[in-house]
Structure 1
Amino acid sequence: MTVTEQEITDYVGRVRAALADLPPAVRDELSEDLPEHLAEVAAEADGSLVDRLGEPEAYAAELRAAAGAPTARGRQVDQRVAAAVARVRGRLRGLDARLGPPLGYATASEFLRLLRPAWWVLRGYLAAMLVTVVTTGGGFGLLPRLGGEFLAGLVMLVGFVLASIWLGRRSERLRGWPRWALHAGSFVLVVFALAGLANAEDRAGYQEYGYDPIAVNNPYDRVRDVFVYDSEGRLVENARLFDQNGDPIRLGYPDCVDERDPNGNPLLRPYPYCPDQAPFAPRAPVGAAPPALPPLPSPTPSVTATPQPTATATAGPGATVSPSGTPGQTVSPTPSVTG
């Protein structure tokens, strides 16, 4: 960027306006050689005079301070602030020039200008994510959502990115409060991005065994091992659990070393992880017979009496026999004779 004569004239005019409270002779003496000095500064390197020397008001404050000229009471505080700003800007320009060569450019700001399109896209994404957080009450993922709707969030993202690019291409033309509003909005988005990164780091943090439980208030989050017993009360080893879809169920995490495969994946081990820690019975030795269980009590039969048959025999005319007996016995009738 080449500094024009009009820019030099405008800069000199603003410096003289900042020195308007001084006597005309003092003001003319301080700004007498200023146009020639500005032309020499402009010829040394590219960049505007404001970028090289700071704002004209700050430069006027430096001239005033160097000459020991008196300051107006109403402008004394403003001049001190302007001088402080000028010193800070000077140090930043020096730092900018020192960081440029390691990056392969004359100044670091020249390298950062190449990254502005990427920042425009990122700024639109951060704005969409900020709206997502506001509309969803704090919950968000990697992609924005508008009122919880994914498609509406994508439309909002595209619109914000295009608007950010449009503002970025015209930011150099902004002056006054629109420029300050754009910088303030960018600062808010940067703070929001840092807070989001910190939150993501906390959510992805590693706990005691390398993973973070997903469920909240899960009744099984304190399960460390699973012990399966059969109907005989014997511990079942090498057991695996599956749901109705055939997917394996994983509960707990082993706190003992597998003697058979010390370097294996603990989450691929069958249940129980630690058989020696069975809660109801000690682990049976390898190859030992299962413990003998007491026999079940046999049921007591109930006896039901069978009634004995009664036989009635009649022998001869006029004779009546009423014997009583049991099956297998011979009944002999006794005749009764009537004469």
Structure 2
Amino acid sequence: MSSTHTRAEVRDYLDRMRAALSDLPDVEISEIMDDADAHVAEVAAELGEEFSAEALTSRLGTPEVYAHELRVAAGYPPSKHVVVVEPPKPVFAARFAFWALVAGTATAFAMGIGGRDGFPLASLVAVFVIWAVVLLHRRPELIGQVGDLPENTALQQALAQAEAGPPGKAIAYLRSLQPAWWLARTVLVAISGVVVAGFGILFLLTLALAALTFMSGPRAKTDRRWLWVSLPAAGLAAGTLLYILGAVLPNATYHDNYPTSYGPPTPTLPNNVYVFDKNGKALTDVYLYDEEGQPIETPFYGCRNGGGDGANSRYREDNRYPRPRVEYDDYGNCRVMSGVPFAVSIPTESLDPSASLDPSASATPSGPVDPSISVTPPSSVSPAPPTVATTSK
């Protein structure tokens, strides 16, 4: 078949499409036909030697049907003068495209909230979204089939009812903010790239996606195929915004909620403890416990070279006291010393301890007390014992 004949049949097909769109303004007809011209010519070229008017109609549908699909995809009402009788078509591809859009938007939103945690699942769903985008560009008639799906029809009816009800004013106001949202969405998508991918190669891909996101906003109003870019990008941007708010707000209120009063500091144990009996004799291998029966442990670092008492030169952390002493000479040599570096004088009790423990003793006076006389109770224990330093040899 000659190319002249092919071009004539293609031109006849396009003329019938233009006639089916004649009720629209010339500007809208030009926008629709610009895409249609290229696509019909592309399909004719793909058919090659098998091209015919019947083959072209079998591939795209009648010119009236194809024009109807494109005008619906662009958001224009059906023609009142052209009655389109569409043959039954399989809806698997349309349903796949619809649910790929839903899953892509939901997953992008979840990844925006979860940061890197949602990246593996989002990458898998993105494959199906890209597949749907390829199908929609190869077969533009799928847009009309997606619009006719029961689930899409139910969604559109729900949105129409919401706009007619009390939320209508809020929805109208939000739609007036679309240009600002398109810009904010682009910035948030770029930020999500930093959160998920850092500043590597994936971040550069995210910047490209951000630019595509900005383009998809106005274009989706006239070409519904851009929704498969616009809606997932909106989901990612909304999730990222919530992620940022969740990270910033708790830190902003932290200092306001932080308590200004502090409890008493936890007492710390000295590095070493020496214990003496009532006769002033130093005790060794004493194990200390607190009031709850927990061992009171402190770390001990001996000499690395094992100087002195080699058994006690290693690191240990237990509740046995006293610890060996570690000393260094003028040359920095370390040695472990045993013994107590000081002597103590154990105080004597000024009262008979048995008297204070006598249960028969009463604190209530047996006779009248003269209020003019003040009594100062004696101390049962003298002040802390003095210590006398001893010289280690």
**Greater relative contact order structure (CA < 8 Å, 6+ sep):** 2
Same fold (TM over 0.5): no
Tell me the TM-score normalised to structure 1 length.
0.31
**Which one has the largest radius of gyration?**
1
